[in-house]
Amino acid sequence: MKFSRTLIVAGVFFAISSVGAQQPPSPEQPAPQSQAQPPRPSSPEAGQPSSPGQSQPPDQSTIKVTTGLVHLVVTVADKKHNFITDLGRDEFKVIENGSPQEIRFFGSETDLPLRIGLLLDTSNSIRPRLEFEKDAAIDFLNRVIRRNKDQAFLMTFDNEPEVIQDYTEDLSRLTSAIRDQRAGGGTALNDAIFVASAKLSHAPLPASPDTEIRRVIVVISDGNDNLSDHALSDALETAIRAEASVYTISTNTDWLSLDTGSAPKKYAKDDGDKILQQFADESGGRAFFPYRADDLAESFTDIGTELRSQYFIAYSPANSTADGRYRKIDVQTVRKGLVVRTRKGYYAVPSPVDSSGSRKN
User: Tell me: the pLDDT tens digits for 193-238?
Assistant: 999 999 999 999 998 877 778 889 999 999 999 999 999 989 987 8
Chain center to CA of 232: 14
Helix ranges restricted to H, 189-313:
189-200, 232-241, 271-283, 296-307
Q: Class of the 114-307 domain?
A: alpha beta
Mean pLDDT of 156-176: 96
Q: How confident is the model at residue 186 (pLDDT cuts 50, 70, 90)?
A: very high
Over 80: is that where the pLDDT of 276 sits?
A: yes
Q: Residue 234, SS3?
A: helix
Residue 180 pLDDT more than 90?
Answer: yes
If one compares 234 and 24, the residue with the highest pLDDT of the two is 234
Phi and psi torsions of 301, nearest 5°: -60, -40
Which H or E run includes 120? strand 114-121
| CA angle in degrees (0–180, nearest 5) for 260-262-267 | 95
With cut-offs at 50, 70 and 90, classify the pLDDT of residue 260: low
Tell me which of 280 and 154 has the higher pLDDT.
Answer: 154
- SS3 for 21? helix
pLDDT in tens, 39-96: 333 333 333 333 333 333 333 333 344 447 777 778 899 998 888 989 999 999 999 9
Domain spans of the chain, in order of start:
5-108+310-349, 114-307
Look at the chain and count its residues: 361
- Percentage of the chain beyond pLDDT 90 is 39
Give pTM, 2 decimals.
0.71
d(CA 186, CA 50): 25
Residues 103 and 70 sit within 8 Å (Cβ to Cβ):
no
